[in-house]
Chain A
Amino acid sequence: MADKFDVIVVGAGPAGTSCAYTAAKAGLNVLLIERGEYPGSKNVMGGILYRKQLEEIIPEFWKEAPLERPVVEQRFWFLDKESMVTTSYKGLEWGKEPFNNFTVLRAKFDRWFAGKAVEQGALLINETVVTECIVEENRVVGVRTDRPDGDVYADVVVLADGVNSLLGKSLGFHKEWKPDEVALTVMEVLNLPKKTINERFNVSDDQGVSVEIFGDSTQGLLGTAFLYTNKDSLNIGVGTTLSGMIKKKLKPYHLLEYVKEHPMIRPYIEGGETSEYLAHLIPEGGYKSVPRLVGNGVMIVGDAAQFVNAIHREGSNMAMSSGKMAAEAIVRAKELDDFTERTLDSYRKELYNSFIGKDLKKYKDVTHTFEEHPQYFTDYIPMMNKAANSFFTVDGSPKKEKQSRIIKSITEGKGKIAVAKDLYRAWKVMK
């Protein structure tokens, strides 16, 4: 007779592990199934972990989690071919408890996090692929794995199977993602001595920097590049929508090479030795792409549910919170001994009332708007650079004259009305 659990969680990333942790802590019998050799072995993100949402699951996690550096400075670079306009915030309070966010290496972090779920009593099994949900009488009752005698049953199955979520798709919760609903991110981990990193980024051993890079870093495509400091390595990567890459016939690794060779970026990574090369899809469809979240005996969390805020590069925190909320809904359902869609639906309601639902809604049109109107990336960022150049170059012309020349150059070729429209459109989708 096959085993039966209270909950089966498919996928030991941030969402699945949070769900398993929370459910196991509440005393439920949880099976956490991971396809990789160990949790984290197949997982990819830029590398920023937010403090707040994990703290709600594991208080003071920073005292034991394998973190790289707390981020004390966030830089934003607006890149042209040979110049950039930059802005940043540095605050030493971010380097102290309770911190704001950290850089992490997922292979280490996810493994630790899954270990915490195991400590709470969840049963973790690796190297096991869930091939389908077992559906009986319009209800998910378990999963089929690729192992011999591979069926296992549960009251609720939580799909935390990541961006592609083949399981969600096979249940008809969503269709294959369209190329503008996912971004492709490629990144490398470059080993560099701690001292070199500290010098180049002007920080000490226990301070980190995150750099978000817009404009020429994606060759005008909708997307960003990033550069994050680990203890003794850097994460450098670039992501753009899949549709953009297809349209421009760009190969992702070419784009990453372009970023690494960019004269504004190269000095920071010089001498770095590539220790890892990673590529992954990121669900960036936003609010409109969120699939059906709940069915009889089944729920979807994390990337599988498109919970990513592309504008604020938030994803793992949404994953964790959604996993936690799903587990809490299961605990309530367990009390009622009712695992139908109607009961589990409290997860969906709570989620839409939380920062996840609200943030996704706030930015629901942003990526679509920027995708349709590439001028923000292709025109305005170079314009910013030209304006700064002409304003700060001392050439003997009066400043007032310069200002009017700059303003004229911005509206040139577009007309004042078009520029005003662009500004209004950007304000409207971001507000």
Chain B
Amino acid sequence: MHILVCIKQVPDTKIIKVNPKTNTLDRSSAPAILNPYDAHAVEEAVRLRDIHGGKVTVLSMGPPQARNAIRKCVEIGADEGILISDRRFAGADTLATSYALYKAIEKIQSLEGVDLILCGKHAIDGDTGQTGPGIARRLGIPPLTCVNRVAEVNRVENRIRVHRKVEEGYELIESTLPCLLTVEKEINDVSYSPLPNVIRAARYEPTVWTVDDLDDVDIKQLGLKGSPTIVGKMWPPEKSKGATLLDGDAEKQVKEMVRVLLKERELFVGKGGD
């Protein structure tokens, strides 16, 4: 079973700063990490491989530094990694990204079959969740999003059953293989990698492909040119003013709260009545 995982290197949004003048992310202010959802996707792929045999290949598009994100996947247990890296890919939105990854997957498929594709639910720098389904659509395979459990993989009948997270619980969905899953964090815990994997990852050099290594690429659909998304405006969310702690006895506190609600927050004002 050949499982392909699409991964992305992202700035660590827990600590990234926003440039107050341009409202864009100051990427130098945060280290680049493997998108956390993708780590779960790789972990799941490694688990499925350990049960069903085969191999796990990770695929990413990005600048040369993204090799480090691929190495992180090798730490988790991926067998191989491929990076597509070329200035012509730069500035891509999700449409152009899914096109580029689709072209790379076609190339991988021409070398060896792919049985299952995994992606993280979304990348933490954009939160769109569009690239995974975009790839599936282009490949003509079913996209199953927000998967939080792989219930069964039937290699004989070439089908898979997964739990899809929905608001009140989960849906049990069956699909033919190959298909594409995007996974939630609950799907597994990323385990602490064994030392031999870590050493292998430190030595590992991923395969790097440029546009010229892919077949039948429509250059117009790549990078900035292939990206119809326009960012109209960016602004940081307004900071909440925080809570006020009332003190004194119960009566005093209630009085103060009523005063705040009526006067400062103008509750009931202008809503009929007076």
Contacts and interface: CB of A to CB of B under 8 A. Distances in A.
B173 to A, nearest CB: 34
Contacts of B31: 37-38
Given A128-B195, A147-B192, A152-B199, 12 more contacts: A3-B199, A31-B199, A37-B31, A38-B31, A146-B192, A147-B193, A147-B194, A147-B198, A148-B192, A148-B194, A149-B195, A150-B194
Contacts of B195: 2, 125, 128, 145, 147-152
Decide if the interface of chain A is mainly helix, strand, loop or mixed: loop
A360 interface: no
B232 interface: no
Cβ-closest 4 pairs across A and B: A148-B194, A147-B195, A149-B194, A150-B195
Name the residue in A123, A145, A147 with the highest tally of chain B Cβ atoms < 10 Å from its Cβ.
Answer: A147
Interface in A111-128: 123-125, 128
A149 B196 contact: yes
B246 interface: no
Contacts of B199: 3, 31, 123, 125, 152
B261 interface: no
Interface in A127-166: 128, 145-152
Decide if the interface of chain B is mainly helix, strand, loop or mixed: helix
B203 interface: yes
Given A38-B31, A147-B198, A123 B203 contact: yes
A147 B194 CA distance: 5
Contacts of A149: 194-196
A53 B196 CA distance: 35
Interface of A: 2-3, 31, 37-38, 123-125, 128, 145-152
B258 interface: no
B93 to A, nearest CB: 30
B202 interface: yes
B196 A3 contact: yes
A146 B193 CA distance: 10
Nearest to B193: A147
A151 B196 CA distance: 9
Contacts of B198: 125, 128, 147
A223 to B, nearest CB: 32
B216 to A, nearest CB: 38
A429 B227 CA distance: 72
B194 A125 contact: no
B174 to A, nearest CB: 35
Contacts of B192: 146-148
A147 B198 CA distance: 9
Contacts of A124: 202
Nearest to A3: B199
A208 B15 CA distance: 28
Contacts of B193: 147-148
Contacts of A31: 199
Interface in B172-230: 192-196, 198-199, 202-203
Nearest to B12: A37
